[in-house]
Amino acid sequence: MLKEFQISLSIFLLFACGFLIEMTLKPRCFFSCTPIYKTMMKPENILKHDRSIVFLETTDQLEPSPLVSCAVESAARIYPERPIIFLMKGLDNNSIHLPLNATYPAFSLLSAIKNVFLFPLDMETLLKETPLFSWYAQVNSSAEKSWVHISSDACRLAFIWRYGGIYMDTDIISIRSIPEDNFLAAQASKFSSNGILGFHHHHPFIWQCMENFIEHYNGDIWGHQGPDLMTRMLKLWCNLTDFQEVRDLRCPYFSFLHPQRFYPISYPNWKLYYQVWDVEPSFNDSYALHLWNYMNQEKKAVIRGSNTLAENLHRKYCPITYKNLIQGK
């Protein structure tokens, strides 16, 4: 009897030790860690080549707006197998002490999604070993009137060069996955946006974009390092024609996706997102919807119970954000 007891005890201890060793050596944090542990992880451990989807916050703002939260949450849902990386300038290496409490509901909500990773945006490290670094080392950021945008234009190119994947603006709601790896998005015929783009890492097109960025740099012209840069480069790499029906253009090294894919509502009509529709559009030809937050100077918000297109999109594609962050009248 005593012997049996000893054997059972030994087996139990063996398992207990094994379990403890397992826990200590392999925290298995990849997709199930606590939010605080996730912010401590190094991006390099998460960024699998060409799989990441990246968002950027180049202001010091830490608490995302409901629309930003929706953009990130919807991407996390549409791409459950891919890491969703949100680089924030306002985070620093001490961000493990960031209070995850009711003061930062959106930050806390996003941190808790298993494939979302919030990391500090360290521009100097990101731009190292790219053509942009020499420009970055010289530019006086406080003298640049559009620094928030220009730094974002630079960082997205450097990130996609370094790691590959898809960059998205924080006012884009994902509704189905993009079936392309290498693509630019048309905002109109023969005109590219830089609000969403995808390329394999070390793609020569992105390298040349960075070279062109510094050769023709002019911080006084809005979009010169953004959509205008992508359009200049697109014309060098592709013989552009007008779109026929809803068909994408195939360039030799990437696709130029039809405006319906991301911009089914074009920017002069941006207010349509904040209106009530009799019959809402199906968006069958779209992968994601750009809500043109830049146009929204009057800060129209999504209001619970308003039945606007934007409210219904939030409810459907980012239900956690909708439930926790969208206020009623």
Residues at the contact surface with ligand NAG, assessed by CB under 6 A: 92-93, 99, 101-103, 122, 140, 142-143, 237-239, 252, 282, 284
Least gap, CB of 234 to ligand NAG (angstroms): 10
Least gap, CB of 14 to ligand NAG (angstroms): 38
Give dist(CA 107, CA 99) in Å, integer.
10
Q: Give whichever of 24 and 93 is closer to ligand NAG, judged by the CB atom.
A: 93
* Cβ neighbourhood burial of 62 (10 Å; 0-12, 13-18, 19+): middle
Q: Which is nearest to 89 in space by CA: 115, 126, 34, 132?
A: 126
Q: Give whichever of 24 and 140 is closer to ligand NAG, judged by the CB atom.
A: 140
Least gap, CB of 9 to ligand NAG (angstroms): 45
Least gap, CB of 53 to ligand NAG (angstroms): 23
Q: Give whichever of 142 and 297 is closer to ligand NAG, judged by the CB atom.
A: 142
Q: Give whichever of 42 and 299 is closer to ligand NAG, judged by the CB atom.
A: 42
Which residue is closest to ligand NAG by CB? Answer: 99
Least gap, CB of 123 to ligand NAG (angstroms): 10
Q: Which is nearest to 190 in space by CA: 227, 221, 216?
A: 227
Pair 188, 257: CB distance under 8 Å: no
Q: Give whichever of 10 and 103 is closer to ligand NAG, judged by the CB atom.
A: 103
Least gap, CB of 15 to ligand NAG (angstroms): 37
Which tokens go with 61? Answer: 């703002």
Q: Give whichever of 101 and 297 is closer to ligand NAG, judged by the CB atom.
A: 101
* Cβ neighbourhood burial of 146 (10 Å; 0-12, 13-18, 19+): middle
As a whole number of Å, the end-to-end CA separation of the chain is 72
